[in-house]
Structure 1
Amino acid sequence: MSFSPQSRVWIYQSDRKFTAIEETEILNKLSAFTNQWKAHGNELLAKAEIRYGYFIILTVDESQAGVTGCSIDSSVRLVKEIEQEFHVDLFNRFNIAYKVGGGVKVQGKEDFETLVNIKQITADTIVFNNMVQNLEELNTKWEVPFRDSWHSSVFAHLL
């Protein structure tokens, strides 16, 4: 299944890593959802994935049918159900994810700021820009060095 680079994406970042069992269960739920996801009765070309054990990514190719407010609401409802069932926080925009070694870590804003202060997070640290809007941006602007991210403007005084 081929998706347009302009396909819309939504990224939900967990405050903790999913276990392998949780990841399988969540992917099953997401798959069941995306297979029947509709907008005004039109099937949406959609997929869902989990990356790094932390990020739920929903993708919709709108070249076939556009996403509507109702269809977005239904996806948010599903993500909220996942949040409750698996006791994770998927909507906290103050949790910041970054790479360390081969893995991903998530910190709250204050702890992240401390790590920048003590130079554990540097201009070269890869951070995740969950604000990307489409597949092309996901592939090119999602994982970026701290210096090139929106995070650096928030924490610029520390660099």
Structure 2
Amino acid sequence: MFVDYSSIPDDAKVWIYPSSRKFYPNEIEEIEEKVKNFIENWRADDENFKASYKFLYNRFIVLVADDEASPLKNTEIDASVSFILELQNDYEVELLDKMNVCFKQGEFVQYKDLKDFKKLLKNKAVTAKTIIFDNLITTKQDFDNFWEIPIEESWYRRFL
């Protein structure tokens, strides 16, 4: 069942999908509608299942699922990945590559592969204080508190 994000408990599961490019304004409403429809039908027969999403910076799709009362099965997780693959193909973006890095430069969100990101660090184009998005987070509580943090507080600090 689709619910408001604020009603999802802190221990809910989170999946973060960063787009390789910013979505265009004419794509955003359509994508949000597709995401909401997916969530509404994800486990439509299970009244105990609650899920929501966030669409942030015109670039990140975040799925959130409270499956405490009724745990997700592998086939249901596979269904969410298949849905993300469809979006990836429909909009010609990369959403599943976890080896890319997203960080803020001023008001803009940058998306770089890890090799290029390491070069930026070496050349001091980004610093320990640069805000990075930790897309490996797995719970709502961590997402709300530790998704956007300085590089020096993230696992990326090993590259400093």
TM-score w.r.t. length of structure 1: 0.91
Question: Which of these residues, 130, 141, 147, is aligned with residue 142 of structure 1?
Answer: 147
Unaligned residue ranges in structure 2 (runs of 5+): none
Question: What is the CA–CA distance in structure 2 between the aligned matches of 1:111 and 1:133, rounded to whole Å?
Answer: 25
- Give CA-to-partner distance per residue, 1:10-60, whole Å, 9 cap, x none: 001111111111121111111001011118x42421112211111110000
Question: Contact (CA 8 Å) 1:5, 1:134: kept in 2 or not?
Answer: yes
Matched, 1:13 2:31: no
Equivalent in the alignment of 2:80: 75
Question: What is the CA–CA distance in structure 1 between the aligned matches of 2:136 and 2:116, rounded to whole Å?
Answer: 21
Question: What is the CA–CA distance in structure 1 between the aligned matches of 2:110 and 2:101, rounded to whole Å?
Answer: 8
Question: What is the CA–CA distance in structure 1 between the aligned matches of 2:155 and 2:148, rounded to whole Å?
Answer: 12
Equivalent in the alignment of 1:100: 105
- Please provide the CA RMSD for this pair: 1.4
Matched, 1:4 2:38: no
Matched, 1:49 2:49: no
Question: What is the CA–CA distance in structure 1 between the aligned matches of 2:68 and 2:74, rounded to whole Å?
Answer: 17
Question: What is the CA–CA distance in structure 1 between the aligned matches of 2:72 and 2:148, rounded to whole Å?
Answer: 25
Question: Contact (CA 8 Å) 1:4, 1:63: kept in 2 or not?
Answer: no
Question: Which of these residues, 59, 62, 71, is aligned with residue 64 of structure 2?
Answer: 59
CA apart distance, 1:63: 3.3
Q: Matched residue of 1:42: which SS?
A: coil
Give the stretch that moved more between structures: 70-79 or 55-64. 55-64
Count of matched residue positions in the alignment of Structure 1 and Structure 2: 154
CA apart distance, 1:113: 1.1
- Give CA-to-partner distance per residue, 1:105-151, whole Å, 9 cap, x none: 11111221111011111000010111111110001111111011111
TM-score w.r.t. length of structure 2: 0.91
Percent identical residues: 33
Matched, 1:131 2:136: yes
